[in-house]
Structure 1
Amino acid sequence: MIDFLIIGGGIAGLSAGARLSNHGRVTVLEAEDALGYHTSGRSAALFEQSYGPASVVELSKAGANFLRDENGGYLTPRGLMLVGGKDQGAVFDRDIVDLNMQAISVDDALRRIPILNPDTVGYAAISKGAFDIDTDRLLQDFARIIRRNGGEVLTKCKVSRIQKDGSWRVEAGQVFEARNLVNAAGAWVDQIAALAGIAPIGIVPKRRSMARLPAPGGHDVRNWPMMLGTGETWYAKPDAGKLLVSPSEADPVAPQDAYADDMVLAEGLARYEKMMTQPVTRVEANWAGLRSFAPDGTLVLGPDPSDPSFIWSAGQGGYGFQTCPAASQLIADLATGTQSVLDPAVLAALSPNRLRR
Structure 2
Amino acid sequence: MTDIIVIGGGIAGISAAARLSADAQVTLIEAEKALGYHASGRSAALIEQNYGAPSVQALNRASVGSLNDANGGYLTQRGLMIVAGTHEEAALDANLETMGLSRISKAEALAMVPVLDPEKVAFAGYHADAHDIDTDRLMQDFAKTLRSNGGTIRTGHPVTAISHGPSGWEVETGGEKLHAQKIVNAAGAWADQIAVMAGVPPLGIVPHRRSMARIAAPGGHDPARWPMFFGVNETWYAKPDAGALIISPADEDPVEPHDAWADDMVLAEGLERYQNMVAIPLTKPISTWAGLRSFAPDRTLVLGPDPDHADFIWCAGQGGYGFQTSPAASQLVADLTFGRTSPLSRETVAALRPDRLRP
TM above 0.5? yes
Distance across 2 between alignment mates of 1:145 and 1:230: 40
Matched, 1:233 2:267: no
- Corresponding residue number in structure 2 for 1:124: 124
**Helix, strand or coil at the partner of 1:92:** helix
Q: Counterpart amino acid of 1:310?
A: F
- Corresponding residue number in structure 2 for 1:67: 67
- The offset of 1:91, in angstroms, is 1.0
Distance across 1 between alignment mates of 2:19 and 2:110: 44
- The offset of 1:115, in angstroms, is 0.8
- The offset of 1:142, in angstroms, is 0.5
Cα deviation, 1:236-266, whole Å, max 9, x if unaligned, reads: 0000000000000000000000000000000
- The offset of 1:159, in angstroms, is 0.2
- Corresponding residue number in structure 2 for 1:207: 209
Of 242, 248, 251, the residue aligned with 2:250 is: 248
Distance across 1 between alignment mates of 2:225 and 2:19: 34
Distance across 1 between alignment mates of 2:86 and 2:72: 42
Distance across 1 between alignment mates of 2:28 and 2:230: 35
Matches within 5 A, 1:27-42: 27-42=27-42
Which stretch shifts more, 242-251 or 77-86? 77-86
Cα deviation, 1:39-90, whole Å, max 9, x if unaligned, reads: 0000000010100000000000011100000000000000111111111111
Distance across 1 between alignment mates of 2:111 and 2:145: 44
- The offset of 1:158, in angstroms, is 0.2
- Corresponding residue number in structure 2 for 1:355: 357
- Corresponding residue number in structure 2 for 1:286: 288
Matched, 1:152 2:152: yes
Distance across 1 between alignment mates of 2:311 and 2:283: 53
Q: Counterpart amino acid of 1:240?
A: A
**Helix, strand or coil at the partner of 1:330:** helix
Distance across 2 between alignment mates of 1:44 and 1:194: 30
**Helix, strand or coil at the partner of 1:132:** strand
Q: Counterpart amino acid of 1:29?
A: I
Distance across 2 between alignment mates of 1:223 and 1:232: 21
User: Structure 2: 5+ residue runs without aligned partners?
Assistant: none
Query: What percentage of aligned pairs have identical amino acids?
Result: 58
- Corresponding residue number in structure 2 for 1:299: 301
Cα deviation, 1:283-321, whole Å, max 9, x if unaligned, reads: 100000000000000000000011110000010001000
Distance across 2 between alignment mates of 1:66 and 1:285: 33
- The offset of 1:194, in angstroms, is 0.4
Q: Counterpart amino acid of 1:19?
A: R
- Corresponding residue number in structure 1 for 2:161: 161
Cα deviation, 1:183-235, whole Å, max 9, x if unaligned, reads: 00000000000010000000110000000000000001101111011100000
Distance across 2 between alignment mates of 1:70 and 1:117: 40
TM-score (normalizing by structure 2): 0.99
Q: Counterpart amino acid of 1:7?
A: I
Matched, 1:182 2:156: no
TM-score (normalizing by structure 1): 0.99
Q: Counterpart amino acid of 2:113?
A: I
**Helix, strand or coil at the partner of 2:225:** coil
Of 270, 275, 284, the residue aligned with 1:268 is: 270
**Helix, strand or coil at the partner of 1:222:** helix
Runs of 4+ in 1 over 2 A off after TM superposition: none
Matched, 1:108 2:102: no
Which stretch shifts more, 255-264 or 84-93? 84-93
Distance across 2 between alignment mates of 1:347 and 1:24: 22
Distance across 2 between alignment mates of 1:208 and 1:158: 24
**Helix, strand or coil at the partner of 2:341:** coil
Matched, 1:172 2:173: yes
Aligned Cα root-mean-square deviation (Å): 0.6
- Corresponding residue number in structure 2 for 1:328: 330
Cα deviation, 1:113-171, whole Å, max 9, x if unaligned, reads: 11111111111111111000000111111011111110111100000000100210000
Distance across 2 between alignment mates of 1:164 and 1:34: 28
Matched, 1:309 2:311: yes
